[in-house]
Amino acid sequence: MPLLHVTVLVPFLLALLIALMTRRAPTLHRGWLVIPGPLALFIYFLTRIPVVRGGDAGYDTISWIPSLGIDLVFHLDGLSLLFTLLITGMGTLVVIYSIYYLDRRKEELTPFYIYLLLFMGAMLGVVLSDNLMVLYGFWELTSVSSFLLIAFWHRRQKSRYGAQKSMLITVFGGLAMFAGFLMLYVMTGTFSIREIWSEVGDISGHMLFIPAMLLILLGAFTKSAQFPFHIWLPDAMEAPTPVSAYLHSATMVKAGLYLVARFSPIFAGQHEWFWIVSGVGLITLIYGSIQAMKQTDLKALLAYSTISQLGLIMGLLGMGSAAAFYTGEESVFYTAATTAALFHLINHAIFKGSLFMVVGIVDHETNTRDLRKLGGLISLMPVTFTLAMIGSFSMAGLPPFAGFLSKEMFFTAVLNIRQLDIFSIPALFTLFPLIAWIASIFTFAYSMILVFNTFFGKYQPEKLDKKPHEAPFGLLLPPLLLAVLSLVFGFIPNILSDSLIIPAMNAIHPIMQLAEPFEVNIHFWHGWTPEVWMTLGVVVLGIVVYRLYGRWSIVDKEWGRNLTLNDVYDGGIRLVEQLSRRLTGAYMTGSMRHYLMYIFSFLIVAIGGTMLYTDGITLGTSDYAPISFFEVIVVAVMLTGALAIPFTRSRIAAILFTGMVGYMVTLLFVLFRAPDLALTQMIVEVVSVALFLLCFRHLPKLKREPVKLRSRLPKLLISIGIGITMTLVALAALGSSPFESISSYYVENSYTLGGGKNIVNVLLVDFRGFDTMFEITVLGVASLAIYSMIKLQLEAGNSTGVVK
Amino acid sequence: MELLIALAIGVLFTVGVYLILSKSLLRILLGTTLMTHGVHLLLLTMAGLKTGAAPLLGEKAEAYVDPLPQALILTSIVISFGVTAFYIVLAYRAYRSAGTDDVEGIKEERQ
The domain ranges of chain B are: 1-102
Q: Residue A804: pLDDT above 50?
A: no
Q: How far apart are CA A263 and CA A39, in angstroms?
A: 29
Q: How far apart are CA B21 and CA B31, in angstroms?
A: 9
Report percent pLDDT > 70 for chain A: 90
pLDDT confidence of residue B83: 93
Mutation for testing the B interface, residue in A734, A736, A779 having most B CBs under 10 Å? A734
pLDDT confidence of residue B110: 47
pLDDT confidence of residue A321: 85
Q: Residue A803: pLDDT above 60?
A: no
Tell me, rounded to whole angstroms, the distance of Cα A678 from its chain centroid.
Answer: 63
Q: Residue A516: pLDDT above 60?
A: yes
Q: Residue A620: pLDDT above 70?
A: no
Stretch (H or E) spanning A742: none
Q: Average the pLDDT over each of A82-91, A322-331, A558-567, A714-723 and give the range with the smallest value.
A: A558-567
B40 neighbourhood in chain A, CB within 8 Å? 665
Q: How far apart are CA A524 and CA A490, in angstroms?
A: 8
pLDDT tens string A369-405: 888 888 788 888 888 889 999 999 999 888 788 888 8
pLDDT confidence of residue A514: 55
Domain B1-102: give its CATH architecture: Orthogonal Bundle (1.10)
Q: Is the dihedral of CA B94, B97, B103, B108 positive or negative?
A: negative
Query: Across the strands, what pairs with B56?
Result: A758
Average of per-residue pLDDT across A191-195: 88
Q: Residue A307: pLDDT above 90?
A: yes
Distance of residue A598 Cα from the nearest chain B Cα, in angstroms: 11
Helical spans, DSSP H, in A191-323: 193-198, 200-203, 209-223, 232-235, 241-245, 252-267, 271-294, 298-320
Q: How far apart are CA A263 and CA A217, in angstroms?
A: 9
pLDDT confidence of residue A371: 81
Q: How far apart are CA A308 and CA A622, in angstroms?
A: 82
CA dihedral A133, A136, A137, A143 (to 10 degrees): -170
Q: How far apart are CA A342 and CA A348, in angstroms?
A: 10
Contact A136, A125 (CB under 8 A): no
For residues A328 and A497, the model is more confident at A497
For residues A250 and A233, the model is more confident at A233
Contact A565, A228 (CB under 8 A): yes
Q: Average the pLDDT over each of A45-54, A471-480, A552-561 and give the range with the smallest value.
A: A552-561
Summary mean pLDDT of chain A: 85
Average of per-residue pLDDT across A11-32: 82
Per-residue pLDDT band at A559 (split at 50, 70, 90): low
- As a 3-state breakdown, chain A gives helix, strand, coil percent values, each rounded to 5, of 75, 5, 25
Contact A228, A127 (CB under 8 A): no
Inter-chain residue contact A759 with B19, CB threshold 8 Å: no
Q: How far apart are CA A360 and CA A298, in angstroms?
A: 9
B9 neighbourhood in chain A, CB within 8 Å? 726-727, 730
Query: Across the strands, what pairs with A61?
Result: A73
Query: Across the strands, what pairs with A292?
Result: none
Inter-chain residue contact A658 with B4, CB threshold 8 Å: no
Inter-chain residue contact A699 with B40, CB threshold 8 Å: no
Mutation for testing the B interface, residue in A632, A665, A701 having most B CBs under 10 Å? A665
B58 neighbourhood in chain A, CB within 8 Å? 757
Distance of residue B61 Cα from the nearest chain A Cα, in angstroms: 11
Contact B21, A595 (CB under 8 A): no
Which stretch, A321-335, A342-356, A619-633, has highest mean pLDDT? A342-356
Inter-chain residue contact B34 with A642, CB threshold 8 Å: yes
Query: Across the strands, what pairs with B64?
Result: B53
Per-residue pLDDT band at A605 (split at 50, 70, 90): very high
Report the residue from A620, A654, A718 with minimal CB separation from B30. A654
Q: Between A and B, how many residue pairs show a Cβ–Cβ distance under 8 A?
A: 275
Per-residue pLDDT band at A117 (split at 50, 70, 90): very high
Average of per-residue pLDDT across A632-636: 93
DSSP letters spanning A654-667: HHHHHHHHHHHHHH
Contact A625, B49 (CB under 8 A): yes
Mutation for testing the B interface, residue in A635, A689, A727 having most B CBs under 10 Å? A727
Average of per-residue pLDDT across A149-172: 92
- As a 3-state breakdown, chain B gives helix, strand, coil percent values, each rounded to 5, of 75, 5, 20
pLDDT tens sequence for chain B (111 residues): 888 899 999 999 999 999 999 888 888 999 999 999 999 999 998 877 777 888 888 877 888 888 999 999 999 999 999 999 999 888 888 877 777 777 776 655 444
Inter-chain residue contact B7 with A638, CB threshold 8 Å: no
A6's CB contacts (< 8 A; 6+ apart) are: none
pLDDT confidence of residue A637: 94
Contact A665, A681 (CB under 8 A): yes
Angle, nearest 10°, between helix axes B67-98 and B103-110?
Answer: 50
Inter-chain residue contact A730 with B73, CB threshold 8 Å: no
Residue A734: what residue type?
L
A692 neighbourhood in chain B, CB within 8 Å? 29, 88
Contact A509, A323 (CB under 8 A): yes
Residue of B nearest to A623 (CA): B48
Distance of residue A653 Cα from the nearest chain B Cα, in angstroms: 12
Average of per-residue pLDDT across A298-317: 92
Maximal CA-CA distance, chain B: 64
Report the residue from B6, B71, B95 with minimal CB separation from A731. B6
Report the residue from A673, A746, A771 with minimal CB separation from B50. A673
Query: Across the strands, what pairs with A72?
Result: A62
The closest of A308, A322, A146 to A235, measured between CA atoms, is A146
pLDDT tens string A248-280: 888 889 999 999 999 988 888 888 888 899 999
Q: How far apart are CA A398 and CA A404, in angstroms?
A: 5
**For residue A541, with 0-12 CB atoms within 10 Å meaning exposed, 13-18 middle and 19 or more buried, which class applies?**
middle
Report percent pLDDT > 90 for chain A: 37
Q: How far apart are CA A454 and CA A472, in angstroms?
A: 19
CA dihedral A712, A717, A723, A727 (to 10 degrees): 160
Q: Residue A477: pLDDT above 80?
A: yes
Q: How far apart are CA B65 and CA B43, in angstroms?
A: 13
Report the residue from A593, A642, A669 with minimal CB separation from B12. A642
Question: How many C-beta atoms lie closer than 10 Å to residue A230's C-beta?
Answer: 26
Contact A309, A248 (CB under 8 A): no
Question: How many C-beta atoms lie closer than 10 Å to residue B44's C-beta?
Answer: 25
Contact A607, A725 (CB under 8 A): yes
Question: How many C-beta atoms lie closer than 10 Å to residue A244's C-beta?
Answer: 28
Q: Average the pLDDT over each of A50-54, A652-656, A726-730 and give the range with the smallest value.
A: A50-54
B60 neighbourhood in chain A, CB within 8 Å? none
A314-A163-A564 Cα angle (round to 5) = 65
Report the residue from B34, B78, B96 with minimal CB separation from A658. B34
Instruction: Tell me chain B's radius of gyration from C-alpha atoms.
Output: 19
Q: Residue A20: pLDDT above 90?
A: no
Report the residue from B4, B25, B84 with minimal CB separation from A688. B84
pLDDT tens string A637-647: 999 999 998 88
Average of per-residue pLDDT across A746-767: 90
pLDDT tens string A530-544: 888 888 888 888 888
Q: How far apart are CA B96 and CA A789, in angstroms?
A: 12
Inter-chain residue contact A643 with B11, CB threshold 8 Å: yes
Distance of residue A646 Cα from the nearest chain B Cα, in angstroms: 7
For residues A341 and A732, the model is more confident at A341
The Cα-based distances of A285 to A306, A449, A567 in angstroms read 9, 18, 21
A170-A251-A104 Cα angle (round to 5) = 100
A803's CB contacts (< 8 A; 6+ apart) are: A791, A792, A793
pLDDT confidence of residue B111: 42
Inter-chain residue contact B30 with A757, CB threshold 8 Å: no
A134-A140-A142 Cα angle (round to 5) = 105
Contact A474, A99 (CB under 8 A): yes
User: If you ran DSSP here, which 8-state letter would residue B47 be given?
Assistant: T
**For residue A153, with 0-12 CB atoms within 10 Å meaning exposed, 13-18 middle and 19 or more buried, which class applies?**
middle
Helix (H/G/I), strand (E/B), else coil: A788: helix
